[in-house]
Amino acid sequence: MPTRAEHRRTTLLVLSEAAISLFEEQGASATVEAIAERAGVARRTVFRYIDVKEELAFIHPVIWFDVFDNALAEVADEQLVDKFRIASGAIAAYIDTDPAAPKRAFIVTMTNPELAKGFNSIYQRWIERVATEVLTDRTAGAEPTPTDRFHARIMGAAVMGMVDATVREWMFSPPDVTFSELYEDGFEILAPLFDQLAENPKGSGT
């Protein structure tokens, strides 16, 4: 019997395929009801996983939350930079197992600008997820200061900016270029920021 996590992932993949197919056929006018019907799920099931219809174009980044969290759980005692390198590397490796699916999602979004609302929503959720991990590591259970929160959000935005640039580069790269290769290059640029954050004392204004 599949676990709850496996059932969730299967449902999300079915929803993604239904949504991308309908967005390809009908553009952003495809309705939640039509997507739910094609996926073989109830409309209310769709809204367990997304807040607005446009997010259905970005189901794969929602699945990546689980990949990220599972990898982090296995390296909880590592330094922050290593935790992010390993956990985000797990996402990159996951993408490379089936690159066609996320590429279809990004292509359909590029050809239907109305779906950008979904990208922005998921993008912000990822910034918050990264910032939360940075803040948890930085404060070690203590009450975070406004400076701690500010630094954490900067790191969240920096990481996601790099991921966005990596995705766009990957979309137009030759088929033999893996997402993992490009991501590793991008992460090397960010790694010194993690080191600098670790050198600053908690709550420091520097």
The model's pLDDT over 127-139, given as tens digits with 9 standing for 90+, comes to 999 999 999 988 8
**pLDDT tens by residue, 36-61:** 999 999 999 999 988 889 999 999 99
Each residue's pLDDT tens digit, 88-138? 999 999 999 999 988 998 899 888 989 888 888 899 999 999 999 999 988
Q: Does 205 have pLDDT greater than 60?
A: no
Is residue 203 predicted with pLDDT exceeding 70?
A: no
Residues 134-188: pLDDT tens digits?
A: 999 888 778 889 999 999 999 999 999 999 999 999 999 998 999 999 999 999 9
Please check the confidence at residue 199 and state whether its pLDDT lies above 80.
Answer: no
Q: Which token pair is 7?
A: 């059932």
**CATH topology classification for 54-199:** Tetracycline Repressor; domain 2 (1.10.357)
Give me 83's structure tokens: 């935790």
Residues 6+ apart with CB under 8 A from 190: 158, 159, 162
Distance CA 43, CA 177 (A): 38
**Distinct helix (H) and strand (E) counts, the chain:** 9, 0
Helix axes 4-26, 59-74, angle to 10 degrees: 150
What does the block give as tokens for 73?
A: 């759980």
Residue whose tokens read 């997304």: 50
- On average, the pLDDT of the chain sits at 90
Cβ–Cβ < 8 Å for 126, 59: no
Task: Give residue 138's pLDDT.
Answer: 83
- Where do we find the tokens 């630094």? 151
Domain boundaries, the chain: 54-199
Sign of CA pseudo-dihedral 70, 92, 184, 200: negative
Selection from 63, 72, 88 nearest residue 7 by Cα: 63
Count, residues in the chain: 206
Using an 8 Å Cβ cutoff, are 126 and 160 in contact?
yes
Phi/psi for 143 (5° steps) reads -70, 120
Token output for 141 = 């259970």
